[in-house]
Amino acid sequence: MNGSLPEATRAEGAGRGSGPLLLGVRHHGPGSARAVRAALEAANPRTVLIEGPPEADALIALAAEEGMQPPVALLAHVVDEPGRSAFWPLAEFSPEWVAIRWALEHEVPARFIDLPATHTLAWGQEEAPDGSAAPNRPDTPDGPEMPETPDSAVSEEAIRIDPLAVLAETAGYDDPERWWEDVIEHRGVRGGDAFGPFEVLGEAMGALREVYGSGGHERDLVREAYMRLQVRAAQREFGDDVAVVCGAWHVPALRHKTAVAADKALLKGLPKAKVDMTWVPWTHRRLARVSGYGAGIDSPGWYGHLFSAPDRPIERWMTKVAGLLRDEDRLVSSAHVIEAVRLADTLAAMRGRPLPGLTETTDAVRAVMCEGSDVPLALVHDRLVVGDVLGEVPESAPAVPLQRDLARIQRRLRLKPEALERELELDLRKENDAERSRLLHRLRLLGIEWGAPAESRGSTGTFRETWRLRWEPELAVRVAEAGVWGTTVLAAATAKAEADAVAAGALADVTTLAERCLLAELPDALPVVMRILADRAALDADVGHLAQAFPALVRSLRYGDVRGTGTHALAEVAAGLAERVFVGLPPACAALDTDAAEEMRRHVDAVHGAVGLLGEVHTETSSAVAGQGPPPEADARSGSEAETKIEAETAAGPRSGIRDRWHTVLRTLSARDTIPGIIRGRAVRLLLDDGELVEGEAARLMGLVLSPGTAPGDAAAWIEGFVGGGSGGGMLLVHDERLLGLVDAWLTGVPGDAFTDVLPLLRRTFSAYEPGVRRTLGELVRRGPGTRGSAMATGSAIPGFAPDLDIERADAVLPVLRLLLGLDENDVAADDAENNNDANDNDLVGVGR
């Protein structure tokens, strides 16, 4: 098939003139792709030259393999710095992809002729002022295509023109996309006119370049010089029987006759970098401008449809839309499809367009199938107009060892990368799910964010995890970057964790890393991390850092339990950390300003939650931490008594339970006048929630704080600590009328000159309550103190309250709950028998189970 052309064929193509056949295209344009195929069929060249990096010539043959499914991209990265990388994306409807496939099918040599990636990546690094690869410009619709780089942005070094926008404006169009569709996409190739579109487009670009020169694309002068040299080399080998597929913007420059010496002079002294290249999967979403990897098209899904539809593209498109909306439970009938097609045709005729374009089809879908609503239309745009197609690359494509190990694990765990975001529920009691969890956690340690943890629905147990998965093309770069840490996922994650532990600055960073090592199950890295953690904890004297690190350690112990990993070393560090937090917290809370007090209040909350969690899920660890000693009395103590107790326990060692020791710390915090009010109030609240205050003690402490002898600002801060911070304090005031009365009486007695000072703090506190809680509090205050108690005594309750539990009304809820949960009477009776429950005790244990 690579022999000479028949005379008839050569005569047919004679109209294009002598020299190489220059096929100027719009990158990722289905009309250009169809025209390229027709031109190549008509000309049957001996070789095809394509705009792209020459280092990828060895990869062209992979495009014919069965496992190669576009969209895909050529990935080039610097060997020593994988983060310096660039992509050349290709879709099924890209003219370059069509040219590659045609050449492989006809056994014609195909070569890339753009500036080598070894210069492109080195050049970008040299120009970047911050040491990172300089961002490449976004690709203009029919102009030059530069490789896509992560975090690309528009360079401000020059104002660059959009050739299509200029041509569209000249033709009277306000939208370049519409002009391109009318002129190219909706234009069929008729008879022997295979070269007509390229000749006309080339002339138009020549006229533009006469006016605008390089159009602000100064680097293109170097690229075009290199392309001219490659075209000359191909002509020496194959004669003029050469086809060149490139951006239409380059056609005038390739036709221009220049001296070889002048072109070589432009290329002299270019920087170089050692690069590797491979194929990687790409997505339609990454072909769209909205993704940040702008490739010149807004609607890759629509263009893919135009390219693949054999006939009647509008009817087929409307059928796709109807199928999508039906899958979303919207009522769309065949009549809707027929009417939508008719409306699209009518709109195209009214607007003077040869065929309906995306604008007309979108308007028709909105009016007919979506009933004028943009909500389902947004779904159509996301799923069909843009699309979530993810390409595939054969296993024979070059890859770093880490990528091959990752692909092997993905196949074994049946965890296929997908472009569409999906939610994955994992039950860690199942081995396959546990391995999936370990893989995702290890990848996150390596900076490969394939999955992001999400909040589990319907379960708070540590045996369940929820992930949101979406595979993005740039993750291939992250895999290449992580390859420096090891050849397997386990080895790379272990080495990365050890290096991060050494480089970690704050103690909390090391504890977080220890938690992640447990989640990722890295037994070799955990001892290193724990040794560093113990050293940092011993040297760190900042109680705030210790309090911030302690909850992460407790969470790690909890995860270790459910995953069956050893946490003895972690428990020892947690014991020492808890001891230091308990001793150092009261002095650290003294004499703080407002911001520091608020931060320390958050630390107190975190430590309180960690202590409760530690005692709940790891009681044997609690015993090891605190020892076995008699619990302290559960009554209120004065500040001096509490301080004496904690000092005595500190000197004697951890004898009592960890919760009891923590309650002693809270009593100390609640009693010291030098501690800010927000911390004292929160300490009292935590003691009250844990049942450590005798009846009426909270009201007595609040009454002391709200007495006239306390500054209004300090009293307001105490109230914020007690009932603010999202701790459910509003419901406490609703159900404890005595506390509400104290707050009400204090607030009404605040002097006028001090009221303006405490008002912002109080508004911040009470505005955090639920609207229903605020409404109930307002109703209680309006009725006056004692109203609720007197109403209950007389049997006339305030709306929403009753003097006693209404058993009959409570029982009426049970049948509905059983129906919702799919339970029957036998299930509840069996559960009552198992838990020794009274069948008439009106509990919801059976239903809950």
Q: What is the DSSP string of 250-305?
A: GHHHHHS---HHHHHHHHTT-----EEEEEEE-BHHHHBGGGTS--SBS-HHHHHH
For residue 770, count other CB atoms closer than 10 A to its CB: 11
Amino acid sitting at position 159? I
Report the distance separating Cα 559 and Cα 436, nearest Å. Answer: 16
CA atoms within 13 A of residue 86's CA, in its CB half-sphere: 31
Helix/strand/coil percent split, the chain, to 5: 60, 5, 35
HSE (CB half, 13 Å, CA atoms) of 297? Answer: 28
Token pair belonging to 617: 């899920």
> In angstroms, rounded to a whole number, what is the distance separating the alpha carbons of residues 28 and 300?
8
Of 24, 478, 73, 460, nearest in space to 251 by CA? 24
Is the distance from CB of 245 to CB of 219 less than 8 angstroms? no
3-state secondary structure of 65: coil
Name the amino acid, one letter, at 657: G
And the tokens for 516?
């992640």
Q: What Å distances lie between residue 331 and 306, 343, 360, 528, CA to CA?
A: 26, 19, 22, 60
How do the domains of the chain map onto residue ranges?
7-291, 309-386, 401-485, 514-524+542-694, 710-804, 807-848
Residue 328 tokens read as 């979303």
- Print burial letters for 30-52: b (CB count within 10 Å at least 16), e (below 16): bbbbbbbbbbbebbbbbbbbbbb
Q: Name the one residue in this structure whose structure tokens are 């100390």.
A: 668
Rounded Cα–Cα distance for residues 149 and 295 (Å): 11
Candidates 30, 50, 154, 142; CA nearest to 93 is 30
Report the length, in residues, of the chain: 849
Q: What is the spatial order of strands in the sheet that 275-281 belongs to? A: 85-90, 72-78, 275-281
CA 86 vs CA 267, 448, 469, 745: distances in Å: 21, 18, 24, 69
Tokens of 796: 């006339």
Element (H, E) at 110: strand 110-112
Checking phi first, is residue 653 left (phi over 0); if not, alpha (psi -120 to 50) or beta? left
C-alpha distances out from residue 279 to 63, 219, 707, 721, Å: 9, 25, 75, 58
820 by DSSP, 3-state: which?
Answer: helix
Quote the pLDDT of residue 558.
63
Token match 């000159």: residue? 753
Q: Tell me what pLDDT residue 369 has.
A: 95
Strand ordering across the sheet containing 47-50: 21-25, 242-247, 47-50, 110-112
Do 428 and 456 touch, CB atoms closer than 8 A? Answer: no
Note if the pTM is more than 0.75.
no
| Residue 611 backbone phi and psi in degrees, to 5 | -60, -45
Stretch (H or E) spanning 625 = helix 619-626
Count the neighbouring beta carbons within 10 Å of the beta carbon of residue 783: 13
Task: Order across the sheet with 464-469: list the strands.
Answer: 422-427, 464-469, 451-454
For residue 84, the model assigns a pLDDT of: 82
* Residue the block writes with tokens 């309090």: 547
Q: Is 604 helix (H, G, I), strand (E, B) or coil?
A: helix
Secondary structure class of 422 (helix, strand, coil): strand
Residue ranges of alpha helices (H) inside 489-618 are: 489-503, 507-520, 525-539, 543-563, 568-588, 594-617
Instruction: Tell me the pLDDT tens digit for each residue of 5-30.
Output: 333 333 344 345 578 999 988 888 88
The answer to whether 426 and 436 have CB atoms below 8 angstroms apart is yes
| Chain center to CA of 651 | 49
> Any idea which residue has 């002022």 for tokens?
129
Dihedral angle computed from the Cα positions of residues 59, 63, 65 and 66, in that order, rounded to the nearest 10 degrees:
140
φ/ψ of 453, rounded to 5, equals -60, 145
Q: Which residues contact 570 (CB under 8 A, 6 or more apart)?
A: 514, 518, 530, 553, 556, 557, 560
> What is the distance between the alpha carbons of residues 747 and 751, in angstroms, rounded to a whole number?
9
**Would you state the pLDDT for residue 30?**
86
DSSP-assigned beta bridge partners for residue 454? 466
How far apart CA 776 and CA 817 sit, in angstroms, is 27
* Pair of tokens at residue 238: 């194959």
User: What residues contact residue 668 under an 8 Å CB cut-off, 6+ apart?
Assistant: 586, 639, 642, 643, 646
SS3 77: strand
Q: How far apart are the C-alpha atoms of 240 and 250, rounded to whole Å?
A: 18
Token couple for 533: 């953690």
781: region left, alpha or beta (phi > 0 left; psi from -120 to 50 alpha): alpha
Neighbours of 528 (CB within 10 A): 17
User: At residue 148, what are phi and psi to the nearest 5 degrees?
Assistant: -80, 130
Whether 136 contacts 146, CB under 8 Å: yes
Question: For 155-249, where are the alpha helices, taking DSSP H only?
Answer: 163-170, 176-180, 196-212, 219-238
Query: What is the CA 494 to chain-centroid distance, rounded?
Result: 24
Distance between CA 357 and CA 504 in Å, rounded? 56
Reading the block at residue 322, the tokens are 């109807």
Query: What does DSSP say about strands 110-112 and 47-50: parallel, antiparallel, or unpaired?
Result: parallel
Please tell me the distance from the alpha carbon of residue 406 to that of residue 487, in angstroms, as a whole number: 10
CA-nearest of 626, 628, 631 to 645 is 631
Residue ranges in the chain modelled with pLDDT below 50: 1-15, 126-146, 150-159, 189-191, 290-294, 561-562, 617-656, 788-801, 834-835, 839-849
**First vs last Cα of the chain: how many Å apart?**
73
* 817: CB partners within 8 A, 6+ apart: 823, 844, 847
